[in-house]
């Protein structure tokens, strides 16, 4: 008698054999005449091939991406990659402390020409020229370009320089030809007069068009502003120079008079302010008279005027004012005071020799008035609108918990049982995110607000731990310098803003908005939190790590903002180092 278990086993074997017979009796597969692959029919048609499976166990091992050049600064580390819109950078970098940032946008070259040897300048005049060149570089850099100042040396490197030297040219034409020779030697990009400034928002249509690149078929010039700005490909630039040399017109005063018009494409200068001698005489007679009386003093007055126009253009671009984010106002007064100090400086009117004047490109602007300054608000939530300039200050989770608990002696028990996860992020994004969204989704929203295309030029973000930690203390001069390169103009600096001008008596900006626990106590907690975060060997390290683990999304955006600001500083310093061989590098503030 066959055992019961053996009977069951035989039944299973027979069943499997029958299935194999059925499948094997299916019609023979036929070949697809187009692909040459066999067409599968019968039940096997619905059985996926093993090669179509992508099992995790067979995937290549994940490796940490290689370190990129110039990707660290202090405690900040970053990896520039197109997958930056990701809740957590560590899923890409495999490193908790390394943030994924958006790739740096290409900065088109924009050149200007300055020949210090063409005239005998006094030291005062050279200083005035240096201030003008510095203002020009700062304004164009803030708009996403790479400004370079050229001189006679670049013109001499052009193979056509000798041919121009042999020509008996009008002095004005010779100077203009040298400018083009220098541009042709450098290559594709823009050539601007040092008196030509971008006077619009970063997202202006013309400036966005210029950032996308040049037309390889023609050289672009701009109507009504003469030789103030050109954009062209290197081949077309040198073709134009060759065309001008062949015509041998020695009496003309500019290249525009002798280059064939068909080589140009004419655009409208909607976002360009050109402070030509004619514009200065017509619109700013006081400056024109001062230049005649004292060239150095007049040029400095012109620089001051241009800076005030750039600042006023910024103010006009944000009619809703400036928002200084202040979530949890009961205990974050000290936390946002440096940002409020910056906002009040941006809302001021810059010093100007003609306060009620407007740029030559927009004579119908709204001049800055001390009686009607830009509105400053302190909302607890971020508003996604182009009408508002936002200043955001992010605290480390440990810092925020210390302020919430009014003590630096925070415990793991308190963090787990008494605090909400990712509280800062949830509060700040409550108007732009559904209440059901978790911290990871909110982190993506804030990253977009910090580094997205629409955020460039309409916000400034920083971490609390990088700011002053004493009550009433002004902002570090180096930090203000960096903000100016991002904004494109000099920020008004008095004792309340710049530490260089700060007196012995430090003044708070929050008289009408004190915190419940007192601003002095808040600053004390901020300083202790900063020390705890920086010190890797103190007994609070595990509490800091606990705060980070409990607030993963808050920690992620804090590191993201810290790395994003650090990278902008590294990028600018690298650019200045690359420019050190040009004349502009020798003309400093």
Look at residue 370 and give its three-state secondary structure.
coil
User: Which is higher by pLDDT, 513 or 238?
Assistant: 238
Backbone angles phi, psi at 420, to 5 degrees: -85, 145
Confidence of residue 249 (pLDDT cuts 50, 70, 90): confident
Residue 370 to residue 441: CA distance in whole angstroms: 42
Residue 37 to residue 210: CA distance in whole angstroms: 51
Chain-centroid distance, C-alpha 264: 32
- 25 pLDDT exceeds 60? no
Residue 463 to residue 461: CA distance in whole angstroms: 7
Least confident of 28-32, 371-375, 548-552, 584-588: 28-32
Which among 26, 95, 44, 101 is positioned nearest to 70, based on CA atoms?
101
- 587 pLDDT exceeds 70? no
Q: pLDDT over 90 for what percent of the chain?
A: 62
Q: Where are the domains of the chain?
A: 109-274, 318-578
Confidence of residue 372 (pLDDT cuts 50, 70, 90): confident
What is the reported pLDDT for 16? 65
On whether the CB atoms of residues 486 and 568 are closer than 8 A, the answer is yes
- 193 pLDDT exceeds 50? yes
Average pLDDT over residues 116-139: 85
Neighbours of 554 (CB within 10 A): 27
Q: pLDDT over 70 for what percent of the chain?
A: 84
Question: Of how many residues is the chain composed?
Answer: 589
What is the reported pLDDT for 318? 96
What is the residue whose two structure tokens read 């994003």?
Answer: 564
Residue 426 to residue 428: CA distance in whole angstroms: 6
H-type alpha helices, 319-381: 333-347
- 196 pLDDT exceeds 70? yes
On whether the CB atoms of residues 199 and 362 are closer than 8 A, the answer is yes
The packing angle between helices 519-534 and 541-550, to 10°, is: 100
Longest CA pairwise span in the chain (Å)? 127
- 29 pLDDT exceeds 70? no
Residue 382 to residue 364: CA distance in whole angstroms: 32
List pLDDT tens digits, range 393-420.
Answer: 999 999 999 999 888 888 888 899 889 9
Backbone angles phi, psi at 240, to 5 degrees: -65, -40
Confidence of residue 467 (pLDDT cuts 50, 70, 90): confident
User: Which is higher by pLDDT, 499 or 277?
Assistant: 277
**CATH classification number, 109-274, choose in 2.60.40, 1.10.287, 3.90.550, 3.40.50:** 3.90.550
Task: Give the DSSP H/E element, type plus range, for residue 500.
Answer: none
Average pLDDT over residues 258-279: 94
- 118 pLDDT exceeds 70? no
What's the whole-number average pLDDT of the chain?
Answer: 86
> Would you give the DSSP letter of residue 475?
B
On whether the CB atoms of residues 418 and 441 are closer than 8 A, the answer is no
Half-sphere exposure of 134 (CA within 13 A, CB side): 21
| Residue/partner pairs of 350-353 with CB below 8 Å, 24 or more apart | 350/304, 350/307, 350/308, 350/311, 350/312, 350/489, 350/490, 350/492, 351/304, 351/308, 351/492, 352/304, 352/305, 352/308, 353/286, 353/287, 353/290, 353/301, 353/304, 353/305
What is the reported pLDDT for 503? 62
What is the reported pLDDT for 181? 96
Average pLDDT over residues 153-173: 91
- 583 pLDDT exceeds 90? no
Sheet holding 459-463, edge to edge: 376-377, 322-324, 389-394, 459-463
List pLDDT tens digits, range 30-59.
Answer: 444 434 444 444 433 333 343 333 333 334
Confidence of residue 248 (pLDDT cuts 50, 70, 90): confident
- 468 pLDDT exceeds 80? no
List pLDDT tens digits, range 65-110.
Answer: 999 998 999 889 999 999 999 999 999 999 989 999 999 999 999 9
Average pLDDT over residues 421-431: 94
Neighbours of 22 (CB within 10 A): 11
């Amino acid at each position: 008698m066959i055992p019961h278990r053996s009977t069951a086993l035989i039944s299973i074997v027979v069943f499997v054999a029958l299935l194999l017979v059925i499948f094997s009796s299916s019609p023979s597969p036929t070949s697809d005449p187009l692909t040459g692959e066999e067409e599968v029919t019968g039940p096997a048609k619905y059985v996926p091939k093993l090669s179509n499976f992508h099992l995790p166990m067979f995937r290549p091992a994940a490796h940490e991406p290689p370190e990129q050049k110039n990707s660290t600064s202090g405690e900040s580390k970053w990896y520039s990659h197109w997958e930056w819109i990701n809740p957590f950078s560590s899923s890409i970098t495999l490193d908790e402390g390394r943030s994924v940032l958006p790739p740096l946008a290409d900065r088109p070259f924009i050149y200007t020409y300055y020949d210090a040897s063409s005239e005998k300048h006094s030291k005062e005049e050279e200083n005035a020229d240096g201030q003008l060149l510095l203002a020009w570089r700062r304004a164009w850099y803030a708009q996403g370009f790479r400004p370079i100042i050229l001189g006679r040396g670049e013109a001499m490197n052009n193979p056509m320089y000798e041919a121009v030297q042999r020509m008996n040219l009008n002095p004005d034409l010779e100077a203009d030809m040298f400018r083009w020779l220098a541009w042709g030697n450098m290559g594709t990009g823009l050539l601007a007069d040092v008196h030509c400034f971008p006077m619009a928002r970063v997202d202006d249509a013309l400036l966005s068009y210029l950032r996308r690149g040049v037309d390889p078929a023609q050289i672009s010039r701009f109507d009504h502003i003469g030789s103030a700005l050109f954009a062209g490909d290197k081949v077309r630039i040198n073709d134009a120079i060759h065309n001008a040399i062949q015509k041998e017109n020695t009496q003309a005063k500019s290249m525009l008079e002798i280059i064939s018009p068909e080589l140009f494409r004419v655009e409208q200068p909607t976002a360009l302010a050109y402070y030509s001698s004619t514009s200065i005489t017509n619109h700013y007679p006081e400056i024109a008279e001062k230049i005649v009386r004292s060239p150095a003093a007049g040029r400095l007055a012109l620089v001051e005027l241009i800076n005030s126009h750039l600042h006023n253009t910024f103010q006009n671009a944000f009619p809703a004012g400036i928002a200084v984010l202040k979530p949890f106002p009961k205990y974050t007064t000290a936390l946002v005071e440096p940002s409020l100090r910056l906002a009040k400086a941006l809302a001021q009117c810059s010093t100007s020799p003609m306060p009620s004047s407007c740029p030559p490109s927009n004579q119908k602007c709204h001049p800055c008035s001390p009686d009607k300054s830009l509105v400053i608000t302190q909302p607890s939530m971020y508003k996604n609108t182009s009408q508002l300039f936002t200043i955001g200050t992010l605290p480390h989770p440990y810092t925020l918990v210390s302020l919430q608990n009014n003590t630096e002696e925070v415990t793991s028990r308190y963090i787990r049982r008494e605090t909400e996860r990712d509280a800062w992020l949830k509060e700040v994004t409550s108007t732009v995110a559904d209440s059901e969204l978790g911290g990871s989704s909110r982190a993506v929203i804030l990253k977009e607000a910090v580094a997205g295309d629409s955020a460039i030029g309409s916000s400034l973000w920083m971490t609390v731990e990088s700011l002053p930690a004493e009550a009433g203390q002004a902002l570090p001069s180096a930090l203000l310098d960096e903000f100016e390169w991002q904004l494109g103009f000099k920020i008004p600096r008095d004792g309340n803003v710049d530490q260089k001008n700060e007196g012995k008596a430090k003044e708070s900006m929050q008289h009408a908005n004190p915190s419940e626990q007192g601003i002095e106590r808040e600053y004390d907690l901020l300083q202790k939190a900063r020390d705890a975060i920086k010190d890797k060997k103190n007994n609070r390290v595990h509490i800091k790590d606990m705060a980070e683990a409990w607030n993963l999304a808050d920690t992620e955006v804090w590191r993201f903002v810290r790395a994003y600001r650090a990278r902008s500083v590294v990028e600018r310093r690298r650019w200045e180092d690359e420019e050190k061989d040009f004349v502009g590098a020798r003309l400093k503030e």
